[in-house]
Amino acid sequence: MGTVSPIHWILVAVVLLALFGPKSLAKVGKTAGRGVRAVSDVKKDLSNVPNQILADVTRPSSERQPKG
């Protein structure tokens, strides 16, 4: 269980190409890229939540807006 060598990557690429074909493999890659991008966007949004909560808590009550 060592590192993954270039031969392993080539073998994975050949198997994926055989399973999906060149056109479908491009669609799978595009979809996977969109998924990774969506997860990254959510991660950025969630990283700002603690700062927003802290800003709301430390802001004087006269400046707070009621929710709803």
pLDDT tens profile 7-39: 998 999 899 889 888 888 888 889 999 999 999
Buried b / exposed e along 21-58 (16+ C-beta atoms within 10 A): eeeeeeeeeeeeeeeeeeeeeeeeeeeeeeeeeeeeee
For residues 40-56, average pLDDT: 84
Report yes or no: 56 and 64 within 8 Å, Cβ to Cβ: yes
Quick check: is 4 in a domain?
Answer: no
- Reported as a pLDDT band with limits 50, 70 and 90, residue 66 is low
Quick check: is 65 in a domain?
Answer: no
Report yes or no: 16 and 25 within 8 Å, Cβ to Cβ: yes
Structure-block tokens of residue 5: 């060598």
Quick check: is 46 in a domain?
Answer: yes
- Average pLDDT value over all residues in the chain: 84
User: Could you list the residue range(s) of the whole structural domain that residue 39 is in?
Assistant: 21-59
Quick check: is 29 in a domain?
Answer: yes
For the chain, what is the domain count? 1
Greatest mean pLDDT among 1-5, 28-32, 44-48, 51-55 lies in 28-32
What is the model's pLDDT at position 51?
A: 79
- pTM score, two decimals? 0.50
Per the rule left: phi > 0, alpha: psi between -120 and 50, beta: everything else, 21 is left
